[in-house]
């Protein structure tokens, strides 16, 4: 079967333009925000001992980062309406660069609240890219292959998430942190010096990333991106409220739990693989295995891009969610290499989820596509809330079994893929 009803339709009388160049440019954004997002997985184990934080407290890194999606998605959606896709991407990159540069004073202080502020600004810029680039790719070509096209673009996002843990571990986790008991024995001045020395390892990576964001913004500003045809009424759109569309509302919940589950597993991966009963690995070595987790997502998206041209998106999504649910449970119920490799393999089946949920959620919305996209991006706030809850569980029942919450998240995605994503006809209440 051909994957259908997965994106807004284009004007039927529009000539099919060549979109290859535009897609190549926009996919660099997917790579960029994937790289920066995944560096949070390295910041978590790096900053935890520096500031002597619990698992719940260190998860405020993800809370600060992903809360920005909720706070800024709708304003960026309006910005797209005012200035268009291209200018929103450029503005988002400049703000992203500013957020990266703010890591320098945060490390010089050093201050955990300043790190959180830098993450909020960084994520505000990334939110602009998410709001503009995801729907841009979805409508930049035939509707029938929107999921396939977005999976391909997301594969470059996964390339960024694959490289980031390795490079982050190399530069940021370059020194072995003191143990908690050793830190508690330090005098206030020695503690401040220790924090300054440890935190300084983030300065160079984020300075370079800030420069890259500014350069990329300048390149896109000087390039000519084609404008995409406006989404049309499809027959399913009745009334003016986007909230009448069941598949969109349920899709937003699916994005919420998916991002929450993926971020929770990625954030705890270094600490999880460092556990004596799992991998018993040094943190720097464990960071390399995090690259395999995200690398699996990259491979899966390349495969998914081809599979989704032949099999309906909902079936692919539901089947992938079944596998992630089983793998997380296998990891929790076992130790050693079985626990280690089963959790790493989750990344392979996570791969198709975000682009598939996104395109299923905005399917057949017609002129409401922009508003629907904003709601879907807002739902990424699940990456802020669920990891904190997993952190609370980790503090109370141990990190090994705290993954019961991500497992529950995947259960919902099974439902959405097989049933909740189906588009149902709407009743027109205007003539009732």
- Burial state string for 89-119 with b = 16 or more CB within 10 A and e = fewer than 16: bbbbbbbbbbbbbbbbebbeebbbebbbbbb
> For residue 26, what pLDDT is reported?
85
**432 inside domain:** no
Going by pLDDT thresholds of 50, 70 and 90, the confidence category of residue 260 is very high
Shortest CA distance to 354 belongs to which of 269, 424, 294? 294
CB 267 within 8 A of CB 382: no
* Residue 103: inside a domain: yes
> Could you tell me which of 157, 133, 135 has the C-alpha nearest to residue 146?
135
Phi-psi region of 57 (alpha: psi -120 to 50; beta: other; left: phi over 0): alpha
Q: What is the mean pLDDT of residues 358-380?
A: 85
- The count of structural domains within the chain is 1
Which ranges in 275-422 belong to alpha helices (H)?
A: 283-307, 313-332, 336-350, 353-361, 369-378, 382-397, 404-415
Residue 11 counted as domain residue: no
- Whether pLDDT at 326 is above 70: yes
pLDDT in tens, 195-253: 898 889 999 999 999 999 999 999 889 888 777 654 433 444 444 578 889 999 999 99
Structural domain includes residue 263: yes
Separation of alpha carbons 10 and 230, rounded Å: 7
Q: Which of the two residues, 309 and 343, has the higher pLDDT score?
A: 343
Check if the beta carbon of residue 126 is closer than 8 Å to that of residue 134.
no
Q: What is the pLDDT of residue 154?
A: 77
Return all residues near 386 (Cβ < 8 A) that are at least 6 apart.
256, 257, 259, 260, 261, 263, 264, 405, 406, 409
Residue 265: is its pLDDT beyond 50? yes
CB 403 within 8 Å of CB 332 = yes
The mean predicted confidence, pLDDT, of the chain is 85
Domain range for residue 167?
20-424
* 15 part of a folded domain: no
Residues 279 and 273 sit within 8 Å (Cβ to Cβ): yes
Tally of CB atoms within 10 A around 83: 13
* Per-residue pLDDT tens over the stretch 102-115: 999 999 999 999 99
In a domain, 362, yes or no: yes
36-55 mean pLDDT: 90
Give the model's pLDDT for residue 290.
87
Residue 327 lies in a domain: yes
The pLDDT confidence band at residue 367, using thresholds 50, 70 and 90, is confident
Q: 58-72, 115-129, 133-147, 346-360: lowest mean pLDDT where?
A: 133-147
Mean of the pLDDT values across residues 170-179? 76
Low-confidence winner among 5-9, 226-230, 265-269 (lowest mean pLDDT):
5-9
Percent of the chain with pLDDT over 70: 89
Cα 55 from chain centroid (whole Å): 20
Alpha-carbon radius of gyration of the chain: 21
Q: How far apart are CA 78 and CA 84, in angstroms?
A: 9
Give residues with Cβ within 8 angstroms of 78, minimum separation 6.
none
CATH code, 92: 1.20.1250.20
């Amino acid at each position: 079967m051909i994957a259908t009803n997965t994106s807004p339709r284009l004007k039927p009388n529009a000539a099919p333009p060549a979109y290859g160049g535009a897609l190549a440019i926009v996919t660099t954004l997917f790579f960029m925000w994937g790289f920066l997002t995944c560096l949070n997985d390295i910041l978590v184990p790096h900053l935890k001992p520096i500031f002597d934080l619990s698992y719940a407290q260190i998860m405020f890194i993800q809370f600060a980062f992903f809360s920005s999606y909720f706070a800024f998605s709708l304003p960026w959606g309006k910005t797209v309406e005012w200035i268009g896709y291209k200018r929103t991407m450029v503005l988002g990159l400049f703000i992203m660069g500013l957020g990266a540069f703010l890591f320098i004073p945060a490390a010089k202080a050093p201050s955990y609240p300043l790190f959180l502020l830098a993450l909020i600004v960084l994520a505000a810029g990334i939110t602009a890219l998410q709001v503009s680039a995801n729907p841009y790719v979805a409508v930049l070509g035939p509707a029938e292959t929107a999921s396939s096209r977005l999976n391909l673009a997301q594969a470059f996002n996964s390339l960024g998430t694959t490289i980031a843990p390795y490079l982050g571990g190399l530069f940021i986790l370059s020194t072995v942190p003191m143990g908690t008991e050793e830190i508690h024995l330090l005098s206030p001045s020695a503690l401040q010096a220790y924090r300054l020395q440890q935190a300084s390892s983030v300065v160079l990576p984020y300075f370079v990333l800030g420069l890259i964001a500014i350069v990329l913004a300048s390149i896109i500003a000087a390039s000519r991106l084609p404008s995409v045809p406006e989404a049309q009424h499809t027959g399913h759109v009745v009334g003016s409220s986007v909230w009448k569309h069941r598949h969109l509302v349920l899709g937003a919940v699916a994005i919420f739990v998916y991002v929450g589950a993926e971020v929770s597993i990625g954030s705890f991966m270094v600490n999880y693989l460092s556990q004596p009963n799992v991998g018993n690995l040094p943190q720097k070595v464990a960071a390399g295995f995090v690259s395999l987790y995200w690398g699996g997502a990259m491979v899966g998206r390349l495969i998914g891009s081809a599979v989704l041209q032949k099999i309906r998106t909902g079936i692919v999504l539901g089947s992938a969610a079944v596998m992630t649910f089983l793998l997380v449970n296998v990891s929790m119920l076992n130790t050693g290499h079985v626990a280690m490799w089963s959790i790493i393999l989750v990344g392979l089946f996570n791969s198709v989820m975000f682009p598939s949920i996104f395109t299923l959620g905005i399917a057949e919305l017609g002129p409401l596509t922009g508003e629907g996209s904003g709601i879907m991006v807002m739902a990424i706030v699940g990456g802020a809330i669920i990891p904190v809850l997993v952190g609370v569980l980790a503090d109370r029942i141990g990190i090994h079994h705290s993954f019961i919450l991500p497992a529950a998240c995947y259960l919902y995605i099974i439902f959405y893929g097989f049933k909740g994503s189906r588009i149902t006809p709407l009743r027109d209440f205007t003539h009732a």
